[in-house]
Amino acid sequence: MRRVPSALSIAGTDPTGGAGIHADLKTFQECKAYGMAVVTSVVAQNTKGVQDVWHVPLEMVEKQMKAVLEDIRPNAVKTGMIATPEMIEKVADLLDGQDIPLVIDPVMVATSGDSLMEQESTSLMKNRLMPLAHVVTPNIAEAETLTGLSIKTQKEAEQAAKMLVDDMGASAAVVKGGHFTGDATDILYVNGQIDYLTAPRTDTNHTHGTGCSLSASIAAELARGNTIKEAVTNSKTFISQAIHDTLGIGKGNGPVNHWASRLKKDDILV
Ligand SMILES: Nc1ncnc2c1ncn2[C@@H]1O[C@H](COP(=O)(O)OP(=O)(O)OP(=O)(O)O)[C@@H](O)[C@H]1O
Ligand SMILES: Cc1ncc(CO)c(N)n1
């Protein structure tokens, strides 16, 4: 029987629509999955920075999750901003044993440089969330924090990807090279194999929400029944185009163009 694939984001908000659950829902839609979202933190932020954060009470996170799970069971889940140790424990408890493909974007710092996770959360992120992850998608700084390695080269990024899987229990890791120089190369480690996913670097500072959108795309692809390698490869194509076909909006690091694969910028200009 044919089905509508659905994907759930568990993440924080961005009222300017470029990152967090807003980016995730746009991405799910573009990547042909029915999108759902549980809010973990309400963030007053824009493309220039984070002004304030309110964490949703844990019992309300649990109620949101239960409301979704008892009604429309997602075919894949992604987590983004889960700021506090207590919230990580709660989300891990709720996801443990669910048998739903899980993409963990270990969000720690916004593109603007503002912190989105409490320092004390790192060990719980490692001990509780990594073992549940089908795919974990750290950027270089997040991979360094999780593994304790210093990552200056692609070989060191490979080593980090292997640690996240072989030592910490994720099924696959994508160490993103957005903050390296040269081509935008991400390193995928899955089934004991390293793959380099490379795209030309776009010369832009409009990269707000790139990480959120990449991990949401991977979740949508998994929800559609694709393998991890197919999901990550297709998602790399999606995010490269969304960065390349920039919208040029925002006074800071502007948002990516989630429409890019089906609309060219001229189609949406008024
Ligand atoms: N300038 C660029 N040109 C092309 N691809 C890029 C560029 N910057 C980032 N990417 C790609 O975007 C994806 C996200 O990577 P990045 O390392 O920026 O994640 P991140 O730091 O978690 O993102 P965020 O800014 O949302 O926190 C990766 O596939 C990366 O290679
Ligand atoms: C809510 C949220 N999640 C993730 C990021 C990282 O881009 C952000 N800026 N805001």
Do 76 and 13 meet the contact criterion of CB atoms below 8 Å apart? no
Task: Output the furthest CA–CA distance in the chain (Å, rounded).
Answer: 52
Is residue 31 part of the annotated active site? The answer reads: no
Task: Specify the CATH number for the domain of residue 239.
Answer: 3.40.1190.20
Enumerate residues lining ligand 1, CB below 6 A. 19, 111, 139, 176-179, 184, 186, 199, 201-202, 204, 207, 209-212, 214, 236, 239-240, 243
**211 included as an active-site residue:** yes
Q: Is the CB of 19 under 6 A from ligand 2?
A: yes
Residue 56 lies in a domain: yes
Q: Which strands sit side by side in the sheet containing 76-79, from one edge to the other? A: 34-39, 6-11, 76-79, 102-104, 135-136, 172-175, 184-190, 193-199
Report the complex ipTM: 0.98
How many structural domains comprise the chain? 1
- CA distance linking residue 95 with residue 133, whole number of Å: 10
213 belongs to a structural domain: yes
Integer Cα distance of 78 and 12 in angstroms: 12
* Residue 124, domain member (yes or no): yes
Domain that holds residue 139: 6-266
What is the distance of C-alpha 181 from the center of its chain? 21
Rounded-to-integer distance, Cα 132 and Cα 97, Å = 9
pLDDT of residue 78: 98
Is 131 part of any domain? yes
Residue 1 placed within a domain: no
Tell me, yes or no, whether 75 lies in a domain: yes
Between CA 131 and CA 136 the distance in angstroms is 10
41-46/172-175 β-pairing: unpaired
* Nearest ligand to the CA atom of 236: 1
pLDDT at position 115 is 85
pLDDT tens for each residue of the chain, 270 residues long: 899 999 999 999 999 999 999 999 999 999 999 999 999 999 999 999 999 999 999 999 999 999 999 999 999 999 999 999 999 999 999 999 999 999 999 999 887 888 888 888 999 999 999 999 999 999 999 999 999 999 999 999 999 999 999 999 999 999 999 999 999 999 999 999 999 999 999 999 999 999 999 999 999 999 999 999 999 999 999 999 999 999 999 999 999 999 998 888 788 888
Q: Is 113 a catalytic residue?
A: no
